[in-house]
């Protein structure tokens, strides 16, 4: 046995331990794209839902939120949110499947199942809670709740994938708590949490693991 | 101190066996089919190596049923974990030693 063989032996052990215990096929690129979709969605929501005061008073050049409790506004908002959500999930699935193939990791194995389960529990709970509050008209709670529960789901899932996911989750939770203290800025916090943080984190993951 | 190659565990001379132990060191339990997918080897090949590790008492088998499908799980014993650790230490020392030359 040469030194090279020994090094290879150790490298193969390290790789198999990682591949067997962590789902390492999550794609960083899909994080970047999800962030971009979220920012586009937030921009459209801003223009559709916020009233341009300029039309009322020509001296004012900013927008304020329109009557958000009107049924029309709520449905526009929900449709936008769902389009962004589905586009992000679809991109994530496609890119992750591609990466899993390249890494030789089964896309539907023990690990991806455990990962999805641990993500799904807080997400479903948070999703249902969001709908209950929406139905009751507590619109101001939506941004903090979605951010906090999304953060919890990431922290829960991080045991089964890159540990970096945990820090993203903690950041989302902190952001959600700040959003809860500043009602009225929900859209801004959404844009930061789902847009900006995803782009930053996705780029880091891309540079670190996708190359 | 010079460490000889014969200090390496004979049970791990085979690559597949070493890989199996690596998986069981990182995970509490692992089932047969997932192991097969991960290592990308045939049923027979995997089964024979598992048998060999079982004979050394490095791993234990847990058989159960998931619905009607048999589900076989493997777990490393304390003896197996210790052997794996020793093997890694020896590998590390061998590398250090060769670098020193």
Tens of pLDDT, residues B1-55: 555 666 778 888 888 999 999 999 988 889 998 899 888 899 999 999 999 999 9
Q: What is the pLDDT of residue B69?
A: 85
| Cβ neighbours of B27 in A, within 8 Å | 20-21
Low pLDDT (below 70) residues in chain A: 1-3, 51-58, 60-71, 211
Q: What is the pLDDT of residue A11?
A: 84
pTM: 0.77
Selection from B61, B52, B56, B54 nearest residue B30 by Cα: B61
Q: What is the pLDDT of residue A190?
A: 93
pLDDT digit string, tens, across residues A41-51: 999 988 877 76
What stretch of H or E contains B75?
Answer: strand B69-76
Q: What is the pLDDT of residue B21?
A: 93
Separation in Å, CA of A157 to nearest CA in chain B: 16
- Count CB neighbours of B67 within 10 A: 6
Q: What is the pLDDT of residue B6?
A: 67
Interface list for A 78-137 with B (CB within 8 A): 104-106, 109-110
Q: What is the pLDDT of residue B81?
A: 92
pLDDT digit string, tens, across residues A41-94: 999 988 877 766 666 666 766 665 555 556 677 788 889 999 999 999 999 999
Q: What is the pLDDT of residue A56?
A: 66
What stretch of H or E contains A172?
Answer: helix A164-181
| Cβ neighbours of A21 in B, within 8 Å | 26-27
* Integer Cα distance of A43 and A131 in angstroms: 23
Supply A46's token pair: 């801003």
């Amino acid at each position: 046995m040469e030194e090279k063989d020994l090094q290879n032996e150790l490298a193969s052990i390290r790789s198999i331990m990682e591949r067997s215990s962590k789902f390492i096929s999550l794609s960083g690129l899909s994080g970047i794209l999800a962030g971009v979709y979220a920012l586009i969605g937030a921009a459209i929501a801003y223009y559709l839902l916020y009233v341009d005061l300029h039309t009322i008073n020509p001296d004012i050049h900013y927008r304020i939120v329109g009557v958000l409790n009107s049924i029309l506004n709520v449905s526009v908002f929900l449709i936008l949110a769902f389009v962004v959500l589905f586009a992000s999930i679809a991109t994530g699935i496609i890119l992750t499947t591609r990466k899993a193939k390249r890494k030789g990791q089964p896309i539907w194995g023990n690990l991806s199942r455990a990962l999805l389960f641990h993500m799904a529990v807080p997400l479903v709970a948070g999703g249902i809670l969001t709908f209950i509050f929406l139905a009751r008209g507590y619109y101001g709670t939506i941004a903090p709740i979605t951010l906090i529960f999304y953060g919890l789901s990431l922290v829960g899932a991080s045991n089964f994938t890159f540990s970096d996911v945990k820090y993203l989750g903690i950041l989302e939770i902190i952001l959600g708590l700040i959003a809860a203290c500043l009602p009225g800025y929900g859209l801004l916090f959404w844009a930061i949490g789902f847009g900006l943080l995803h782009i930053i984190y996705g780029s880091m993951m891309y540079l670190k693991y996708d190359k | 101190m010079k460490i000889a190659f014969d200090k390496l565990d004979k049970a791990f001379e085979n690559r597949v066996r070493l890989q199996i132990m690596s998986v069981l060191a990182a995970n509490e339990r692992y089932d047969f089919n997932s192991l097969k997918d991960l290592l990308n080897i045939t049923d027979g090949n995997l089964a024979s190596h598992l048998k060999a590790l079982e004979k050394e008492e490095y791993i234990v088998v847990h058989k159960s049923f998931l619905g009607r499908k048999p589900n076989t799980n493997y777990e490393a014993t304390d003896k197996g974990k210790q052997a794996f650790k020793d093997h890694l230490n020896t590998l590390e020392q061998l590398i250090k030693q060769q670098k020193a030359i």
